Amino acid sequence: MKNLFEKIFNGAKTGEPKQARLSDKTVWDLEEALVTLRALDEDIPITVGQACEGIMVFGTSGSGKTSGALNTIQMGMMEAGFGMLNICVKADEADRVIALAKKAGREKDLRIMRLGCDETRFNFLDSLRAGGATAVTAAFKRINQSLLGKVDEDEWTQASQEHLTNLVQLFIMAGEKLDISALRMALDDKPLHKQMIVDALDRCPKGSSEEHTIKMLGNYFLKQWVAMGDKTMASVLMSITPTLNPFCTGYMRDLFCTDTNFTPRDLRHGTILVLDIPCTGDNFSYGIAAGTILKYMTQKMIESYFGEGQVAGQKKQKKAGKATRPVVIVVDECHYVTTADDSEFVTTSRSMRGGLFYLTQDINNFYKRGAKTIEAETGALLSNLHGVRIMHQNADDKTFQWFSNVLGKEMKEQFSESGSFSGPTGTGSVSTSRSLQEKDQISRRDFNIGLARGGPKWKFVVTGILQQDGRVYKEGKMWKQVAFQQMDLDK
């Protein structure tokens, strides 16, 4: 990698990307380049299709992953007219995205969602109601996973899932408005449960399937729930309430539980939504809950989108095609809102013209979630996010081992010398042997100190190791060092 550094220090333009100016496009070919990266001896395109297959970027703090790979590739997506959900985990992230959108000529497409500003509102329960009680419970289960940092089934027990599903179903059948605060207060309100059973029976025809469903709900709330032991009941409530609480009061209620003037479908029309509720300080739970639900609802929109006028579940579905605007979910420090569904989502996202653009410092951030199945979940996610993988400077052993395994091994020549000397004259012989041995394609040192981090020292150039599934670069290698020119977002 020394030659690329020499070019940087000699002032050659190695990192200036060739941007595609496609903002007015109405057709998106999967093979079309969003941005072309410069390497030492070849130009390397990142295509629309690869963006929809998923992008994963690693880099330690200060490595330049945000100012390098993220800014360059996201600018290409914006200039190509992508719809975008940007979940801002860090406090300064929203300013970066807004400046990038202005530079890309997409300022008019921006929508901002932040605490204390209700110009963008999304009542997600209104959208979920059509899918019934199970759809509502599934969404809250994902929020629970992110808030508690777990993905194990025992953290969201079957009893918790049953209780919330039945309560939502009872609200719907009794004709009550689905409201998170009302659900929260009704969790253990036994007189209210009884009254809603009566109201629901009054609303439905005698002998109908709805009447049977209400009777089953009555059996649950009026017999099973009241007979449940105090310890079990407390466990169920303690599992559900942290999931509902962030949305019950204040600014979060204003944004997510009143009316709606934005839905994820707007992203298909070119909206760039900036969720500016950082996952830091006192807003920690708010940021995670908001980011998780918007990501989940956007993924469901992408999976169910079959073109204008089509609804998932219809017999005749129009598949997403070249005229379908791609939508990408962008998260720097993605581990705050990652859920078990992400790996499944990216297995089909290419065909639905949607994708994930994830960045984090190292693999250990995923393991902090602490679930029993976390290694398998993380392995599945990183395997399926295979469109583009980029490694900026990183000293973490687990991350190096994972990326090294992705690149595979190569045969390298190993030289050795041996000799023997004897007598007062020191006469003897020296023999040299040569053998082929299987070695890592790239060394640990190259990850740790062999990459440029940007700023004045590196002439505002950031370098990283690029890998694209199925791509073999010149010299037969599975990786390529590429350079990113840091851009001044204030101009």
Q: In terms of domains, do 49 and 66 share one?
A: yes
Residues 6+ apart with CB under 8 A from 373: 151, 152
CA atoms within 13 A on the CB side of 10: 8
Q: Please give the single-letter amino acid code of residue 4.
A: L
Q: In terms of domains, do 67 and 141 share one?
A: no
**Residue 123's pLDDT is what?**
95
Centre a 10 Å sphere on the Cβ of residue 234 and count the other Cβ atoms it contains. Answer: 12
Residue 198 resides in a domain: yes
Residue 21 resides in a domain: yes
Residue 430 resides in a domain: no
| Residue 1 banded pLDDT, cuts 50, 70, 90 | low
**Residue 439's pLDDT is what?**
64
Residue 131 resides in a domain: yes
Q: In terms of domains, do 401 and 479 share one?
A: yes
Q: What is the CATH number of the domain that holds 373?
A: 3.40.50.300
Q: In terms of domains, do 113 and 131 share one?
A: no
Looking at the chain, how many residues does it have?
491
Q: In terms of domains, do 403 and 474 share one?
A: yes
**Structural domain span for residue 79:** 2-118+266-312+320-409+441-485
> What's the total number of domains in the chain?
2
Q: In terms of domains, do 231 and 293 share one?
A: no
Taking each helix axis as running N to C, give the angle between helix 158-173 and helix 190-203, from 0 to 180 degrees, rounded to the nearest 10: 50
pLDDT tens for 242-263 read 899 999 989 999 999 999 999 9
| Residue 146 banded pLDDT, cuts 50, 70, 90 | confident
**Residue 417's pLDDT is what?**
61
Q: Please give the single-letter amino acid code of residue 325.
A: R
| Residue 194 banded pLDDT, cuts 50, 70, 90 | very high
Q: In terms of domains, do 128 and 102 share one?
A: no
Q: Please give the single-letter amino acid code of residue 426.
A: G
Residue 467 resides in a domain: yes
**Residue 442's pLDDT is what?**
78
**Residue 367's pLDDT is what?**
84
| Residue 448 banded pLDDT, cuts 50, 70, 90 | confident
Q: In terms of domains, do 365 and 298 share one?
A: yes
pTM over the 0.75 mark: yes
* Phi and psi, residue 245, nearest 5°: -55, -40
Whether the predicted pLDDT of 21 surpasses 50: no
**Residue 18's pLDDT is what?**
42
pLDDT tens for 370-427 read 555 678 888 899 999 999 999 999 888 899 889 888 887 664 555 566 666 565 665 6
Whether the predicted pLDDT of 4 surpasses 80: no
Q: In terms of domains, do 224 and 280 share one?
A: no
Whether the predicted pLDDT of 23 surpasses 50: no
* Closest listed residue to residue 390, CA positions, set 465, 286, 457, 461: 465
